Amino acid sequence: MARPIPHIVWKRDRLRVLDQRELPRRIVYVDCRTPREVAKAIKDMALRGAPLIGCAAAFGMALAARRRSVRALDAAAEVLVKSRPTAVNLAHAVSAMRELARSTPPAGLPERLARAAERYYRDDLSFNRRMGVLGAALLPRGAVVITHCNAGALATSGIGTALGVIREAFRQGRVAHVYADETRPYLQGSRLTLWELMQEGIPCTLITDSMAAHLMKVQRIDAVIVGSDRIAANGDVCNKIGTYGLAIVARHHRVPFYAVAPTTTFDPGTADGSGIPIEERSAKEVLELSGIPIAPVGARARHFAFDVTPARLVTAIVTEKGVIRPVNAARVKRLLG
């Protein structure tokens, strides 16, 4: 795993979190000593990315377990699950930890939940590697790809989901160049994805989100590769705002559209994308940049943080258990088993 700068560090009495809001300009860590502090780091986007949010929530529960009380765990679960509504990995991690706590005597809680959180983190890491191999096989040699947001090492515990595929494909000579959408309003593309790719020497170019359609018209693009925050039972893919428009534009140009996500991102309890809660964040994040206003005083804005790409626009979903293709409810069900 090429990550010279660790993004979460488990210290048993606290979770040390790299503040991704400060990247690429500054390397700053935030120490979370309580589940509430972990929830705040998630809510305020000091760390982000569905798989990493899941890992952080597991460690948040492990912190709560240090109080050796089911009540403390219940309270922690509530505050953690509320921190962000869309990524299902968070809810999955919290409920898995809660389940485990039920069969554990109070005295054993700290040790058992800490181990479980560490395992959850290690599993995500190995899922990344497996998805990287499976996803790379989908690409032709020397592919030019577009990615959106940051589904990289910074969003997971390993090499990333979408960027994990890109890393492995680059290693195999299957990816020659990556165009990264800047991903407004949070600029995860310009701040985080470019930073990761440049560190590894993967040739990459930044574009604004609005340039992808033009780029597909004027040069060969072999694939769009994105991560996901929640995948419904029918294969509808919820991901960072802008993904849906990118998928429409990819279909228009007959460019394959791949989503890469571990099975922990699937939500079999939600029939289709219409049941996925779309977080709406503060308008301020659209009206300002680094605290500087970029719109008139008093202006209104919407800030949808995610959108849903219907299964019919998704060429394939790459998971650690295999590739779902074509994407439909039957194939999703078969893979999840």
Tell me whether residue 44 is one of the annotated catalytic residues.
no
Per CB under 8 A, the list member of 70, 75, 133, 248 interacting with a copy of itself is: 248
Cα separation, 50 vs 60, whole angstroms = 15
Per CB under 8 A, the list member of 6, 108, 140, 293 interacting with a copy of itself is: 293
Piece of 7-15, 40-48, 101-109, 187-195 that binds a copy of itself (CB under 8 A): 187-195
Q: Is the sign of the CA dihedral 85, 311, 188, 245 positive or negative?
A: negative
Task: Note whether 2 binds a copy of itself by CB under 8 A.
Answer: no
Chain CA centroid to CA 94, Å:
17
Q: Of 18-77, which residues contact a copy of itself (CB under 8 A)?
A: 24-25
Q: Which is nearer to a copy of itself, 188 or 319 (CB)?
A: 188
Tell me which amino acid residue 159 is: I
Instruction: Tell me the backbone φ, ψ of residue 259, rounded to 5 degrees.
Output: -105, 140
Q: Which is nearer to a copy of itself, 73 or 204 (CB)?
A: 204
Task: Note whether 81 binds a copy of itself by CB under 8 A.
Answer: no
Tokens of 251: 């279909």
Task: Note whether 302 binds a copy of itself by CB under 8 A.
Answer: yes
- 5: CB partners within 8 A, 6+ apart: 18, 27
Q: Are 11 and 135 in contact (CB under 8 A)?
A: no
Under DSSP, is residue 11 helix (H, G, I), strand (E, B) or coil?
A: coil
Q: Of 188-227, which residues contact a copy of itself (CB under 8 A)?
A: 190-191, 194-195, 198, 204-215, 217
User: How many residues would you count in the chain?
Assistant: 337
Q: Which is nearer to a copy of itself, 4 or 296 (CB)?
A: 296
Cα separation, 282 vs 113, whole angstroms = 34
Q: Catalytic residue positions?
A: 229
Contacts with a copy of itself, residue ranges (CB under 8 A): 24-25, 179, 181-185, 187, 190-191, 194-195, 198, 204-215, 217, 241-242, 244-246, 248-249, 252, 278, 283, 286-287, 289-290, 292-302, 304, 307-308
